[in-house]
Structure 1
Amino acid sequence: MATKNPKLKISKGQYSVYDLLDRAKKCQENYDYDMANRYCKRAIEMEPDNVEVLENIGSIFMDFGDWDSAKELFERCVSLSPDTGYQKYMYLGQVNVAEDAVNFFQKGIELMIKELNTFPANSEKAKDLSKKISSALCSIVEMYMTDLCDEPNAEENCEKYILEAEKYCNNNYEVYQTMASVRMSQNRQEEAKELVIKSINLWKDLSVDDENYPEYPIRVNLAKLMLELKMNTDALSLLQSLLQEDDEIVEVSYLCGWCYYLLGEELDENGKIDEQVRKEAWEDARLCFINLINRFGLSSPDDQQVLNHSIELKNKITSVIGEISNIPEQNIEINDDEWEDIDNEMDLE
């Protein structure tokens, strides 16, 4: 909900700006983008230079995936109030890439540190800000691992910023998950596994309703990292919990099948594949892929690469362990133009 603030209550007709924001938030909760957009535009007309109003509306646009509109509003907030309020810089970091994103995150961090220094060290506000600073530093690390990975100082910056993130908050699971990604990129897999476990231990006993519980996309990325580290059994448990929470996410359904597939390729203590274990794991993998194809195949053109790979793996499994009966399948052709071999890759973004 938008925060009540006397500065927001400037009426135009029978509604104040706060009323309009409140209604927009309710529409947002009900996934009614059209009505939320109408209320937001009316609020902007009433207070085009009110930074608090613009930031509230920008966050609504972000939630609905309208990043262009959100970016425009946050940039206006920067022009109106460049040296106060870190939130707009955090949002701009999310909607930009490469050096631009890093610069916005750094400005936001600068303002957070300035605010942090005004609070007692052990106060709740100081702890909250310290955690936000560490998360922002993790975002910078992610940028140097992706958009800026070819920069000559990329690895050095990853190390610098992730250690700084830990310094600000050593109980932030995001720090250790990001650090694990860094260690993985450095081929320090055992350290990466230890960091994954350390990260999970910081939130595994929390309720899903706890504000410190990782958001869904963070746990999806964690599952992908665990698969890269060959932590397949633990990854499967995480993926199953994600499916129970929301079984409409194509990537998670695919990753679950991919995890079963990898479990079927694991070697036993004698360095060989146990054929019975592989058969059972691959049967589960095939069921995942068939379910994905039947549920999402005809309506998800944006997920064509995942669909193609699911079909390819399903066919490969069938060629090895034989047909399966009583499972309805749809006849969906692979789009060869969009197919990329990702058998050994986990970057689906």
Structure 2
Amino acid sequence: MATKNSKLKLSKGKYTVYDLLEKARSCQENYDYDMAKRYCNRAMEMEPENVEVLENIGSIYMDFGDWDSAKELFERCVNLSPNTGYQKYMYLGQVNVAQDAVNYFNKGIELMIKELNSLPTNSDKAKDLSRKISSALCSIVEMYMTDLCDEPNAEENCEKYIIEAEKYCNTNFEVYQTMASVRMSQNRPEEAKELVLKSINLWKDLDVEDENYPEYPIRVNLAKLMLELHMNTEALSLLQSLLQEDDEIVEVSYLCGWCYYLLGEETDENGNVDEQIRKEAWEDARLCFINLINRFGLSSPDDQSVLNHSIELKNKITSIIGEISNAPEPTFEINDDEWEDIDNEMDLE
């Protein structure tokens, strides 16, 4: 966040670049991208080689989802000051993919470690920087689990970087959530479950305003991982809290219904399903799907597979347990011409 330079005085009728950035941030908070960009452009005209200003503007563009403009600015920052300031490399890691992203993260980590070595041990700043290093290492692990998963040394690198991440900060929940994903990919589900719980224990008692409380998308990914690990009861609790926080996210509404559906399929030690438990869970699942279909419809092409699967499961549930009395009926039904193979699309199938 930019701060005013005490040496820069605001003249009558004039603004400093820091005043302009404050105005841009205010527009950002009000979701006024056009006006925010105007203030940012004016600030760049005034000081086109001020790396601090360019980085702040780039972060504003990132928040608005203007990845191309942000990337261009951060690359300019690298050209202006390649060996100082790690933030621009962290941003570039986020807007790039595959090996390019890894290279940027590694450069940022190198600069953070250099700064860390100059700080008093156990100082607040050192602890904060250690946490950032561990998070950056987790980002590299994620890259080797996705874009670079076909590389011959992908698993080896995942292990190397996640161990390094824990070394720098063993109180960072992100380390153990990422490590759980690695263990899951290695077909070590019991270890993954233990790591998920360890991760949750590091933040569950924090205030939601605490800077170490995981952001919404991180908790969504955690819920998906828990469903993969058949931690359905725990996943449902997390998904319900996410819905209370923001019930406008289509994916979360769908995952909640999917979780109820999975709870209805759970078996006992003899492999039997309790029909009453299944009926109750599936009634909740069906209500989730009906509400999702009615509320969102085809709100976005990206939601097509989610809507299709919701309709498929709603119909399957009804065919098995019958109709629900006094339940809202969906007003949107799938067009047969638009049917797609859901089983190939849904990660959680």
TM over 0.5: yes
CA deviations over 1:62-99 (Å, ceiling 9, x no partner): 01111111001000000111000000000000000000
- Deviation string 1:96-142 (CA, Å, 9 cap, x unpaired) is 00000000000000000000011011111110000000000000000
- Contact conserved, 2:298 with 2:304, CA < 8 A, in 1? no
SS of match in other structure, 2:342:
coil
**Amino acid across the alignment from 2:197:** I
After superposition, residues 138-157 of structure 1 pair within 5 angstroms as 138-157=138-157
Q: What is the Cα deviation at residue 37 of structure 1?
A: 1.2
Report the residue type matching 1:40 in the other structure: C
For the 8 Å contact 2:293–2:332, the answer to whether it is kept is no
Q: In structure 2, what is the equivalent of residue 248 of structure 1?
A: 248
Q: 1:325, CA displacement in angstroms?
A: 3.7
3-state SS, counterpart of residue 298 of structure 2: coil
State the partner residue of 1:339.
340
Residue 330 (str. 1) matches residue 325 (str. 2): no
Structure 1 residue identity aligned to 2:62: M
Aligned to 1:164: 164
**Which residue is equivalent to 1:52?**
52
Secondary structure at 2:147 match in 1: coil
Identical columns (%):
83
Q: Distance in 2 between matches of 1:84 and 1:12?
A: 35
Q: CA deviation at 1:303?
A: 1.1
Instruction: Give the SS at the match of 1:15.
Output: coil
Q: Is the 8 A contact 2:228 2:348 kept in 1?
A: no
- What TM-score results when the alignment is normalised by the length of structure 2? 0.95
1:289 matched to which residue of 2? 289
> 3-state DSSP class of the match of 1:99?
helix
Tell whether the 8 Å contact from 2:298 to 2:307 is kept in structure 1 after alignment: no
Q: Secondary structure at the match of 2:128?
A: helix
Give matches, 1:57-96, under 5 Å.
57-96=57-96
RMSD: 1.9
Deviations 1:290-334 (A, max 9, x none): 111111113222211111111111111111111224314213324
Q: For residue 339 of structure 1, what is the amino acid of its counterpart?
A: E
Distance 2:285 2:38 in 1: 45
**Cα deviations by residue, 1:152-172 (Å, 9 ceiling, x for unpaired):** 000000000000000000110
Q: 1:8 to 1:269 in 2, by over 3 A?
A: farther
Paired residues, what number? 348
Q: Specify the alignment match of 1:201 in structure 2.
A: 201
Equivalent-residue separation in structure 2 for 1:12 and 1:86 (angstroms) = 36
Distance 1:165 1:334 in 2: 48
Which blocks of at least 5 consecutive residues in structure 2 are unaligned?
A: none
Q: Which amino acid aligns with 1:115?
A: E
Shift of 1:34: 1.4
Displacement of 1:10 after TM fit?
8.4
The TM-score with structure 1 as length reference comes to 0.95
- Whole-angstrom CA distance in 1 between matches of 2:298 and 2:145: 34
| 1:1-349 correspondence to structure 2 within 5 Å | 1-6=1-6, 14-326=14-326, 327-334=328-335, 337=338, 339-342=340-343, 345-346=346-347
Higher mean displacement: 12-21 or 165-174: 12-21
- The C-alpha deviation readout for 1:144-185, integer Å capped at 9, x for no partner, is 000000000000000000000000001100000000000000
Gapped regions of structure 1 (runs ≥ 5)? none
Q: State how far apart, in whole Å, the 2-side matches of 1:11 and 1:135 are.
A: 42
**Alignment check: 8 A CA contact 1:8 1:17 kept:** no
